[in-house]
Amino acid sequence: MDSLYLLQFACFIFMLINAIILGITHLQVKWVNRRYECSRWLILAGMTGLAIQYLLQMLLGFRAKSDDLGAIFNILVYTPCIITISMGIYNIEAPHDANRRKLYIVCACIYAAIIAVFCIGYSNSGSLGSVEI
């Protein structure tokens, strides 16, 4: 086994264990607070998405095949997962619903811009590999 596979496996296990612990903590709550529960499930979804991403990298070998393909896959998957985790954290911290809505809109626009740049780059180059300048 190479070191890249072992690193991906360690990251997968780390994210999966954190997601399981976060999900199990729901069972320990005596008084349910809607805002905290929403944040818990947002963070859990982000961690689960990252765990799935590491599993796919191990099984399909995106990073091992090509650095370019691995970077594209990481950008397209990391961004929504990290945005989901940050929205879960901000959901607890934001005192007003209007601020949370603004964050959701900004995050959606950022990811839409990433997807648009990816689509434009793919249509111009015709492949997922690097584009020669």
Q: How many Cα neighbours within 13 Å face the side chain of 133?
A: 0
Percent over 70 (pLDDT), the chain: 95
Residue 79's contacts (CB-CB under 8 Å, 6 or more residues apart) are: 110, 111, 114
pLDDT at residue 47 tops 60: yes
pLDDT at 130 (0 to 100): 57
Angle in degrees, CA 108, 114, 117, rounded to 5? 140
pTM of the complete model: 0.81
Percent over 90 (pLDDT), the chain: 43
pLDDT at residue 131 tops 50: no
What the block records as the tokens of 130 is 């690097």
pLDDT at 30 (0 to 100): 81
